[in-house]
A and B are shown apart, each in its own frame.
Chain A
Amino acid sequence: MLAGIVLSIISLFIGAIDIKPTDLLDWESDETQIFLISRVPRLMAIILAGAGMSIAGLIMQSLSRNKFVSPTTAGTLDAARLGILISMICFTNATFIQQVIFSFAFALLGTIIFMQILDRIKFKDAIFVPLIGIMYGNILSSITVFFGYEADLLQNISSWLMGSFTLVIAGRYELLYVAVPAILLAYLYANKFTVAGMGEDFAKNLGLSYRFVLNLGLTIVAVITTTVVLTVGVIPFLGLIVPNIVSLYMGDNLRKTIPHTMALGVVFLLICDIIGRVVVHPYEIPVNVTVAVIGSAIFLILLFRGRAYAK
């Protein structure tokens, strides 16, 4: 928590243009304007995306009963992107709202299809399942690229291939606030998700309407993923590694772990973003690159030492 606050402040004052806290005292200065138009929205976007993607991953892991299922490894992100592309093909000048709706519908559908696949396969190995998910995501991705190429929209969709906070300025990121009620809902239903995570038989024995909770969870995941993909793009691995780290030291009682998962997600993304901004200053490495590098390394560590625990 404390780390989050410190990092937030650091994040506010790092960038191509130096802004000192004292500059802010002058309300009219350029620095203050940049601060309000770019830095503050950027920080908010990082916080919302970091918390959102981590919670989305946590819910997916609970509902699928597999530690390595997440928006990255279940096709959710790829489906959301395919949805955006389809909306752009269907309506030549797709409005933002149309993109949102399509992206959401595809993210939801794509995830449901993956859960169906998961239901059918017999061999539910902790590592085999995410591999299937990644393959499935790649198939969706190639469909996206194929149609994007055909329709000459590759340029457009490439901005969603890349997750980056560079383009986040006031007026372009507000959709992310839709993730706030979704996260709140996740917290309110935390106990239900934990019970659902114990499996259908346990859930039924305790009188939980399993189907309803499953559908609600997948909807929350789709909402969060859509808002993040449409505003900052694809941020891989976050929903995978953050909940796993928290689970290692805190367990899987969601009511307890949701606040920690959110906080760690934010801190992790802030660190990645700051690294991306500092390393090649005054230029930037897109955050999805830093997240992918650090995230995949942590993922591998989790895979190797966590094989026993993930079962």
Chain B
Amino acid sequence: MIEIKGLTKRFGKKTVVDNVTAKIQPRTITSFIGPNGAGKSTLLSMVSRLLDADTGDVLLDQTSVKKWKSDRFAKRVSILKQSNYLNVRLTVRELVSFGRYPYSKGRLTDEDEKFVDQALEYMNLTDIQDQFLDELSGGQRQRAFIAMVIAQDTDYILLDEPLNNLDMKHSVQIMKILRKLVDELGKTVVIVLHDINFASVYSDRIVALKNGKLVKDGPTHEIINSKALREIYDMDIPIHEQNGCRICVYFNSHTHAN
């Protein structure tokens, strides 16, 4: 279990993440939502140790993440950041293989190869596995990064806006695969999403941030309603029920000045 305890981060005078406390329930998809600049990425970076918190702590299995050895931590928690700039010429398969680095340090065993094959297949990359990353489209590259994180096979998978650059088909496909990872393999996924309909349809829980503060934290059905969404986004968003899914129709909503 990951517990976020009173986490605070300041950049200069600005408090970007403000005393956030939350628990990530195991075997769920938890979506982080909130407006631009709310502090979602910063929070995720602190959970995954890429960034040090000013105060507060993050516990993984009751132990502070700072106390975990880096190679053991890399087998438990993986993160894909919002923007990934790589100027390394690797093929798709080479990149995904480096997802196995925490286990094999680069000398892949047969088992590692299986994980790599599987991840490539999940992300529809098998056909282009031998192409160089810098020769791919933005969406193909994004899928390669996701495949790498999946090959890392960690209990906790943190994804910061992974649907960036992806077409509808691949977005849906990826959400379904994340669902499968959770339901069948018992993984825990934390995902930052801007399209609240993906959050509504695919996640078990939603955590909402605004101006660095945690404003909502609960099961999806408690958050996807017009009242809660108004608090988060300052928008009046009507909600339609369709085949048991709650769809937020925000395209022409009335917005409030803040």
Q: Are A191's CB and B105's CB within 8 A?
A: yes
Write the nearest CB–CB distance from A235 to chain B, whole angstroms: 25
B250: chain A residues within 8 A (beta carbon): none
Q: Could you say which of A51-59, A194-202, A296-304 contacts chain B?
A: A194-202
B122 at the interface (CB under 8 A from A): no
A21 at the interface (CB under 8 A from B): no
Q: Are B50's CB and A207's CB within 8 A?
A: no
Q: Are A247's CB and B102's CB within 8 A?
A: no
Of residues 93 through 112 on chain B, the ones whose CB sits less than 8 Å from some CB of chain A are 94, 98-99, 101-102, 105-107
Q: Are B87's CB and A208's CB within 8 A?
A: no
Q: Which of B50, B87, B88, B105 contacts A201 (CB 8 A)?
A: B50
B86 at the interface (CB under 8 A from A): yes
Most chain-B Cβ atoms within 10 A of its Cβ — which of A197, A202, A255? A202
How far is B89's CA from A65's CA once the two chains are assembled, in angstroms? 11
How far is B72's CA from A209's CA once the two chains are assembled, in angstroms? 12
How far is B49's CA from A205's CA once the two chains are assembled, in angstroms? 8
A253 at the interface (CB under 8 A from B): yes
A65: chain B residues within 8 A (beta carbon): 87-88
Q: Are A197's CB and B106's CB within 8 A?
A: no
A259: chain B residues within 8 A (beta carbon): none
Interface size on B, residues (CB 8 A): 31
Q: Which of B72, B81, B132 contacts A251 (CB 8 A)?
A: B132
Write the nearest CB–CB distance from B181 to chain A, whole angstroms: 17
How far is B90's CA from A197's CA once the two chains are assembled, in angstroms? 11
Q: Chain B 75-95 against A: per-residue CB contact (8 Å), 1 yes, 0 no?
A: 100110100111111110010
A66: chain B residues within 8 A (beta carbon): 87
How far is B73's CA from A126's CA once the two chains are assembled, in angstroms? 34
How far is B62's CA from A167's CA once the two chains are assembled, in angstroms? 65
B63 at the interface (CB under 8 A from A): no
A284 at the interface (CB under 8 A from B): no
Q: Are B101's CB and A195's CB within 8 A?
A: yes
Q: Are A198's CB and B86's CB within 8 A?
A: yes
Write the nearest CB–CB distance from A140 to chain B, whole angstroms: 27
Write the nearest CB–CB distance from B68 to chain A, whole angstroms: 10
Most chain-B Cβ atoms within 10 A of its Cβ — which of A66, A191, A311? A191
How far is B180's CA from A98's CA once the two chains are assembled, in angstroms? 64
Q: Are B74's CB and A251's CB within 8 A?
A: no
A62: chain B residues within 8 A (beta carbon): 88
Given contacts A191-B105, A201-B50, A251-B132, contact A206 B88 (CB under 8 A): no
Write the nearest CB–CB distance from A62 to chain B, whole angstroms: 8
How far is B79's CA from A245's CA once the two chains are assembled, in angstroms? 33
Q: Which of A190, A206, A247 contacts B101 (CB 8 A)?
A: A206
B107: chain A residues within 8 A (beta carbon): 191
A208: chain B residues within 8 A (beta carbon): 70, 101
B78: chain A residues within 8 A (beta carbon): 205
How far is B87's CA from A247's CA once the two chains are assembled, in angstroms? 11
Given contacts A206-B152, A209-B70, contact A197 B50 (CB under 8 A): no
A309 at the interface (CB under 8 A from B): yes
B49: chain A residues within 8 A (beta carbon): 204
Write the nearest CB–CB distance from B59 to chain A, whole angstroms: 19
Q: Are B88's CB and A207's CB within 8 A?
A: no
Of residues 120 through 153 on chain B, the ones whose CB sits less than 8 Å from some CB of chain A are 132, 134, 152
Q: Are A251's CB and B89's CB within 8 A?
A: yes
How far is B98's CA from A300's CA once the two chains are assembled, in angstroms? 33
Q: Are B98's CB and A206's CB within 8 A?
A: yes
How far is B94's CA from A198's CA once the two chains are assembled, in angstroms? 12
Q: Are B86's CB and A206's CB within 8 A?
A: no
Q: Chain A 116-129 against B: per-residue CB contact (8 Å), 1 yes, 0 no?
A: 00000000000000
B132: chain A residues within 8 A (beta carbon): 251
Q: Are B70's CB and A198's CB within 8 A?
A: no
Q: Are B90's CB and A253's CB within 8 A?
A: yes
B54: chain A residues within 8 A (beta carbon): none
How far is B48's CA from A202's CA once the two chains are assembled, in angstroms? 11
Q: Chain A 166-208 against B: per-residue CB contact (8 Å), 1 yes, 0 no?
A: 0000000000000000000000001110110111011011111
Q: Are A207's CB and B90's CB within 8 A?
A: no
Listed from nearest, the 7 A-B pairs whose CB atoms lie closest are A207-B74, A191-B106, A251-B89, A207-B71, A206-B101, A252-B89, A252-B88
**A interface, CB within 8 angstroms of B:** 62, 65-67, 190-192, 194-195, 197-199, 201-202, 204-209, 247, 251-253, 255, 309-311
Could you pull out 22 A-B pairs where Cβ atoms are within 8 angstroms?
A62-B88, A65-B88, A66-B87, A67-B87, A190-B106, A191-B107, A194-B90, A195-B98, A195-B106, A198-B86, A199-B85, A201-B79, A205-B48, A205-B78, A205-B79, A206-B99, A206-B101, A206-B152, A207-B72, A207-B102, A251-B91, A253-B94
Q: Using A194-B88, A195-B106, A207-B102 as known contacts, list a sample of 20 further A-B pairs with CB atoms less than 8 Å apart, ordered by residue number in A.
A: A62-B88, A191-B101, A192-B105, A194-B98, A194-B106, A195-B101, A197-B88, A201-B81, A202-B86, A204-B49, A204-B70, A205-B74, A205-B79, A206-B99, A206-B102, A209-B70, A251-B132, A252-B88, A309-B89, A311-B87
